[in-house]
Structure 1
Amino acid sequence: MVVVAILAAGRGTRMKSDLPKVLHSLGGRSIVERVIASVEPLSPSRRIVIVGYQAEEVKTALQSSSLEFVEQTVQLGTGHAIQQLLPHLEGYGGDLLVLNGDVPLLRTQTLEKLLQTHQTYQNAATILTSHLPNPKGYGRVFCNGDNIVQQIIEDKDCSPAQKQNHRINAGIYCFRWENLAQVLPHLQANNAQKEYYLTDAVTQVGRVMAVDVEDEQEILGINDRLQLATAYEILQARVKEKWMMAGVTLIDPQSITIDDTVELQPDVIIEPQTHLRGNTFIHSGSRIGPGSLIENSHLGANVTALYSVVSDSTIQTGTRIGPYAHLRGHAQVGANCRIGNFVELKNTQLGDRTNAAHLSYLGDATVGTQVNIGAGTITANYDGVKKHPTKIGDRTSTGANTVLVAPVTLGDDVYVAAGSTITDDVPNDCLVIARERQVIKSGWRKNRE
């Protein structure tokens, strides 16, 4: 049985922000959300987030029935934070996994290894450690040949010989709670910061073992914007390697960004300067970019999207998007359509084999199959107070510079003459002309004299 405690009470002053550090975004999710996600596969019996600075904002951002929140009203160190758990874990006899809310790159496999070692050897505590090439500033961990921890010494207190030890404390712990609960009330703040350190408890609980993390990048903590950017680079390298090994082509990977919430199928091609965000799914054979942004959208097989923005939308197989198209607000585009240059769709559904080739806006519209939207066609969907729908039937065509004043319905097989402004419904199989008759007045210049 494992309870997870995540330390998320600090402000993070070096971020130079009013936003709590743990809520800053990293690749589409907040820093602390990434920490929470890393423990979900462990199936802990409880997940407790220790909050402090702007506690209500953190709680609101992490709304979940499966999370518990414990408040540390005054931040007096990591030991003090864990002391706040004493009344909440009274009578608990399992293990406590302690994570930092600002260390978002830990892999689940690393935590599984830490837990397995802790439980296999029945340790009182097991700590995550790493061998750093440059350990300056980190507390050193000294172990015997069996990885049993003998000492933890802060960097400033190490002798020159001790500083040659490059094994550092990563600040990730697994405790047998019964042992830790006996020690926590007796921690002392005998340091310049007058804080209670959890490391002081480590050497008092009993047998402690160290587990080395294989990839030192996993334990990167985020304290400022520079480290946030570094973490993003690491995350992107992981994501891109994963997809390239899975059969996705990334042309110029350095110019591409992909959230780790995105799903791609083999034989997708991502062109330079393309960015994939949120809950996006792209099927095989699609070619995205160059210069496209796809966010929270589902793209079918063999879709192309050139220099375009697609958000919160669904695109079916074989459809061509762009250049310079904008699909948003839950647009739904059928198969084998063309959404051309400078076309915007908002909350609009298009049937299969429908084309809007250029210079058009379709908002709050339902469009049938095999429809042709002429250049400059606009749905006037807003009356200044409310949005209104437009319906266009199958095989209907609109001429250039058509304005459809919603609410309005065009039936099947309707032809709209160029330059028309349609304000009334049109039945099936009609030609509709709604414009002033052209008038030519000869000798106009002479008559004005």
Structure 2
Amino acid sequence: MDATAIVLAAGEGTRMKSNHAKVSHKILGKPMIQWVVDAAIAADCARVVVVVGSHADEVRALLDAAYTDSQVPVEAVEQAERLGTGHAVRVALDACGISAGPVVILNGDLPLVRPETIAQFAASVADGSTAATIFTCTPPDPFGFGRLVLDETGAVIRNIEQKDCTPEQAATLTECNAGCYAFDGELLARYIGEVGCENAQHECYLPDMMEILREHGHRVSIFHVDDYREGLGVNSRAQLAQITAIARDRINDRLMAEGVTFIDPTQAWISPDSTIGRDTVVWPQTHLIGACTVGEDCQLGPNTRLTNVRVGNACTLDEVVGIDVTLENTISCGPRAYLRPGTHVLDGAHVGTHVEIKNSTIGEGSKVPHLSYIGDTQMGAGVNIGAGSITCNYDGKRKNRTTIGDRAFIGSDTMMVAPVNIGDDVIVGASSCITKDVPDGALALERSQQRIIEGYTAARRARQ
């Protein structure tokens, strides 16, 4: 089906009280606009056109970052003058030459709509029997929604906005307009120019297309979704929090059905682009942001935040912050560890308490147990790093690398001043400052001679 999705994202979003575009606000770490565009792509729409306006540059940047390499074209069209939703659609049609096939109009603040719903919505106008359908739902609290009056065949007679409803209409009309529309593209292009702006706001309203189509003898119907949550939009911070909770529950319910355990599913926030394997246990206050992949039989959390992290099988991550890192299998990490971009921890390694690792490879079975910083390092297998050890990787101008060979034992409180190479089977004495390469199998010591001055304390007190 050669359907086009037009996503309306030009609005001010004044009720958000924000310096940013409404559709840039994130739900589970993902901008709202990307939820809608991703759903349209997953629904097999042939192209997606996003109408931008307020904070246009910010929204364009979000789209460019996410869809530059998308196989489905995602285009941004600017509505320089915000003259209503009908005008926004006309701008999109004119800019992109859309004149055929189903055209689905979606709102950029509708993050809970499912791909399969969009596909069915587009199909509702595909056979030519219906000129347009209106996306409807029946929420438990319909306040704020427009209400639809239908005839006995289900065709739309009239749309009544909330502010225009009589008390009787508000109580009896339950079919609510969620503000999304599917059109026969040829008819939409033919008649969109007839949408006028003769109203108090001097704006062109897309719902007026329904009356125009009926006047030309075309049928307008509804597309009802049983899950009213798909029709919920975001207009305030409170609604953003409510929809975030719904999205969280939807994702966590799916993961539990697939074999993941949540100690408390209301206290774990998993992004829609993350995956978790079966028999993994997710503890409270765990956040997976971006595209994370977690294997089977892992323990995540508590108090763990991962962004674009790949975790293998049988790993334990306790109070860990990780960003753009790869953790292989049977790894233990934390509590209170910070894994920065470029970190790669190999099978069976251990990263302990108050450890920071950046742009480094930790070899198989190696241990960095506590209170250490490892940066720009290539570490071999079976290495033990004593407490308080640091690779001094920055000389004030450049980042330099440290290499530590297999089975090296680095004593506590060791400074390794890069660039430096420490060979296989090396032992470094505690409290050493290593500035020169150490050959395989050697002992490296760098300490000043200890001095003992007996009776010093008594003499000092006497002088005072």
Alignment identity in percent? 39
Mapped to 2, the partners of 1:86 and 1:365 lie a distance apart of: 54
**242-251 or 147-156, which deviates more:** 147-156
**176-185 or 75-84, which deviates more:** 176-185
Aligned to 1:214: 226
**23-32 or 423-432, which deviates more:** 23-32
Aligned to 1:73: 80
Aligned to 1:13: 14
Give the counterpart letter for 1:150 in structure 2. Answer: I
User: Quick one: structure 1 residues 134 and 289, their matched pair in 2 at CA, closer, same or farther if it must change by over 3 Å?
Assistant: closer
Aligned to 2:203: 195
**56-65 or 369-378, which deviates more:** 56-65
Alignment of 1:172 onto 2:184: no
Residue 118 of structure 1 aligns to a residue in which SS?
A: coil
**1:267-299 superposed Cα distances (whole Å, 9 cap, x missing partner):** 000112222221111111111112222221111
Aligned to 1:260: 272
**179-188 or 28-37, which deviates more:** 179-188
Give the counterpart letter for 2:348 in structure 1. Answer: N
**1:289-337 superposed Cα distances (whole Å, 9 cap, x missing partner):** 1222222111111110112222211112111111111111221111111
Answer whether contact 2:146 2:177 (CA < 8 A) is retained.
yes
**412-421 or 25-34, which deviates more:** 25-34
Aligned to 2:40: 39
Give the counterpart letter for 2:125 in structure 1. Answer: H
Mapped to 2, the partners of 1:233 and 1:116 lie a distance apart of: 30
User: Quick one: structure 1 residues 91 and 104, their matched pair in 2 at CA, closer, same or farther if it must change by over 3 Å?
Assistant: closer
Alignment of 1:60-209 (within 5 A): 60-63=61-64, 64-65=67-68, 66-88=73-95, 90=97, 92-120=99-127, 122-163=129-170, 164-205=172-213, 206-209=218-221
Residue 95 of structure 2 aligns to a residue in which SS?
A: coil
Mapped to 2, the partners of 1:310 and 1:91 lie a distance apart of: 44
User: Quick one: structure 1 residues 252 and 377, their matched pair in 2 at CA, closer, same or farther if it must change by over 3 Å?
Assistant: same
Q: TM-score, normalised by structure 1?
A: 0.95
Choose the corresponding residue for 1:413, options 425, 428, 431.
425
Mapped to 2, the partners of 1:443 and 1:139 lie a distance apart of: 90
Aligned to 2:401: 389
**1:75-116 superposed Cα distances (whole Å, 9 cap, x missing partner):** 111111112134335572322111111111101111122122
Mapped to 1, the partners of 2:233 and 2:416 lie a distance apart of: 55
Residue 293 of structure 1 aligns to a residue in which SS?
A: strand
**1:144-168 superposed Cα distances (whole Å, 9 cap, x missing partner):** 3332212222233334443311111
Mapped to 2, the partners of 1:290 and 1:86 lie a distance apart of: 50
Q: TM-score, normalised by structure 2?
A: 0.92
Answer whether contact 2:345 2:363 (CA < 8 A) is retained.
yes
RMSD: 1.8
Residue 296 of structure 2 aligns to a residue in which SS?
A: coil
CA deviation after TM superposition for structure 1 residue 445, in Å: 6.0
Mapped to 1, the partners of 2:79 and 2:331 lie a distance apart of: 53
**Unaligned ranges ≥5, structure 1:** none
Mapped to 1, the partners of 2:388 and 2:75 lie a distance apart of: 54
CA deviation after TM superposition for structure 1 residue 435, in Å: 0.8
Residue 418 of structure 1 aligns to a residue in which SS?
A: coil
User: Quick one: structure 1 residues 244 and 347, their matched pair in 2 at CA, closer, same or farther if it must change by over 3 Å?
Assistant: same
Aligned to 1:292: 304
Residue 174 of structure 1 aligns to a residue in which SS?
A: strand
Mapped to 2, the partners of 1:177 and 1:120 lie a distance apart of: 12
User: Quick one: structure 1 residues 137 and 357, their matched pair in 2 at CA, closer, same or farther if it must change by over 3 Å?
Assistant: closer
User: Quick one: structure 1 residues 223 and 429, their matched pair in 2 at CA, closer, same or farther if it must change by over 3 Å?
Assistant: same
Answer whether contact 1:133 1:166 (CA < 8 A) is retained.
no
Answer whether contact 2:101 2:126 (CA < 8 A) is retained.
no
Answer whether contact 1:274 1:290 (CA < 8 A) is retained.
yes
CA deviation after TM superposition for structure 1 residue 354, in Å: 0.5
Aligned length: 449
Give the counterpart letter for 1:24 in structure 2. Answer: H
Mapped to 2, the partners of 1:176 and 1:56 lie a distance apart of: 31
